[in-house]
């Protein structure tokens, strides 16, 4: 088993699983946000001071509302669905942390030949620990909007570090035209996407505030300039996607993986825009909200992968 852990094949396959699992965790976290389950467990790391949360209010002390009060706000009425949704989110987070730890241990096989692979894996593991602490702060701060935003951005940073480690050997096999332009456009698209995700978390915070005030139909007016800026950023991302598609498909003639990643990223961009339109005009259907969160993060992963590979020497140059 130990010998298998230190094989390159295991690192590559398990690394792929780890990258995909982190996106799944972001999906689960988005479901927690959409369903309003973020405070389903009002304390951390336990849930209502129990390692396995209750399934009925009768299992809680009579003063649970005040005992587990968060700053400036008493705990809401116990909701078993919200509690277990948040609890499952935490369990998935622990599992992903174990995946990243295994990936890190497996990366030690490269510590002498390719130390960057190990360095990125170790950094990702350390950042996961920091992310766990941030998760506690998010609960302590009663889901403060700025903390939720930081929580999301750190998750994306973890994805990037794991990708840098696992996909360290991914590179172009042949020289392509407009490589530097494509690299710079990929980075620009990534930066704008990250800003869009950040603004999206702020828009969501406004939506949550409207829901608390029972003014659901007025969330668009309440979001105001934040929503307008978010839409403008979506248009910019779409325009950059079309430009990258036009240039990329002509340049990546024999680079099948790059074409697939570009196609997948463009598809995610289209779905994200459609889901955004649905949120705007169909009163925030749950499936549209989830799609908007998930595909937004997948877009950032796609642009990062393109930039990462385009930023490296081609395979023939590396061999020299």
pLDDT at 102: 94
> Distance (Å, rounded) from C-alpha 57 to C-alpha 76?
12
One domain for residues 159 and 295: no
Asked if residue 130 has pLDDT above 80, the reply is: yes
One domain for residues 215 and 259: yes
> Distance (Å, rounded) from C-alpha 187 to C-alpha 9?
30
> Distance (Å, rounded) from C-alpha 52 to C-alpha 84?
9
Asked if 301 contacts 23 with a C-beta cutoff of 8 angstroms, the reply is yes
Asked if residue 316 has pLDDT above 70, the reply is: no
> Distance (Å, rounded) from C-alpha 252 to C-alpha 174?
9
From 169, 197, 219, give the residue that closes a domain. 169
> Distance (Å, rounded) from C-alpha 108 to C-alpha 117?
8
One domain for residues 260 and 143: no
Asked if residue 213 has pLDDT above 70, the reply is: no
- pLDDT tier at 274, thresholds 50, 70, 90: very high
One domain for residues 33 and 175: no
How many structural domains comprise the chain? Answer: 2
From 100, 135, 169, give the residue that closes a domain. 169
User: What is the separation, in whole angstroms, between the first and last Cα of the chain?
Assistant: 35
In this structure, of 101-110, 127-136, 266-275, the range with the lowest mean pLDDT score is 127-136
One domain for residues 13 and 162: yes
CATH number, domain of 244, equals 1.20.120
Q: Which two tokens stand for residue 308?
A: 């990462």
| pLDDT tens profile 68-80 | 776 555 666 788 9
| pLDDT tens profile 140-189 | 666 556 677 788 888 899 999 999 999 988 888 877 888 899 999 999 99
One domain for residues 200 and 274: yes
pTM (two decimals): 0.86
One domain for residues 16 and 143: yes
From 134, 169, 204, give the residue that closes a domain. 169
pLDDT at 319: 43
One domain for residues 128 and 191: no
Range of the domain at 56: 1-169
Asked if 189 contacts 237 with a C-beta cutoff of 8 angstroms, the reply is yes
One domain for residues 189 and 144: no
One domain for residues 162 and 175: no
One domain for residues 158 and 185: no
Using DSSP, state whether 106 is helix, strand or coil. helix
One domain for residues 103 and 188: no
């Amino acid at each position: 088993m130990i010998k298998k852990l230190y094989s390159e094949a295991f690192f590559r396959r398990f690394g792929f699983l780890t990258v995909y699992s982190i996106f799944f965790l972001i999906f689960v976290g988005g479901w927690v946000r959409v369903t309003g389950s973020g405070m389903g467990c009002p304390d951390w790391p336990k849930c209502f001071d129990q390692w396995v949360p209750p399934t009925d209010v009768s299992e809680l002390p009579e003063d649970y509302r005040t005992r587990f009060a968060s700053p400036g706000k008493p705990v809401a009425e116990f909701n078993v669905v919200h509690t277990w949704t948040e609890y499952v989110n935490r369990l998935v987070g622990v599992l992903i942390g174990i995946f990243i730890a295994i990936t890190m241990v497996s990366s030690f096989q490269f510590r002498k030949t390719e130390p960057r692979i190990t360095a990125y894996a170790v950094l990702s593991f350390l950042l996961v620990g920091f992310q766990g602490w941030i998760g506690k702060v998010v609960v302590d701060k009663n889901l403060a909007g700025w903390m939720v935003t930081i929580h999301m951005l750190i998750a994306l940073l973890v994805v990037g570090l794991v990708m840098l480690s696992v996909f360290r050997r991914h590179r172009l096999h042949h020289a392509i035209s407009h490589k530097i332009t494509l690299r710079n456009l990929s980075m620009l698209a990534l930066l704008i996407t990250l800003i869009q995700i950040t603004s999206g978390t702020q828009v969501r915070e406004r939506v949550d505030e409207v829901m608390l005030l029972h003014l659901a139909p007025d969330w668009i007016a309440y979001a105001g300039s934040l929503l307008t800026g978010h839409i403008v950023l979506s248009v910019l991302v779409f325009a950059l996607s079309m430009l990258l598609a036009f240039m990329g498909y002509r340049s990546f003639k024999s680079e099948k993986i790059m074409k697939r990643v570009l196609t997948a990223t463009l598809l995610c961009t289209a779905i994200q825009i459609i889901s955004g339109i649905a949120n705007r005009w169909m009163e925030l259907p749950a499936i549209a909200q989830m799609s908007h969160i998930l595909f937004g993060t997948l877009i950032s992963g796609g642009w990062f992968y393109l930039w990462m590979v385009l930023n490296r020497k081609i395979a023939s140059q590396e061999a020299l």
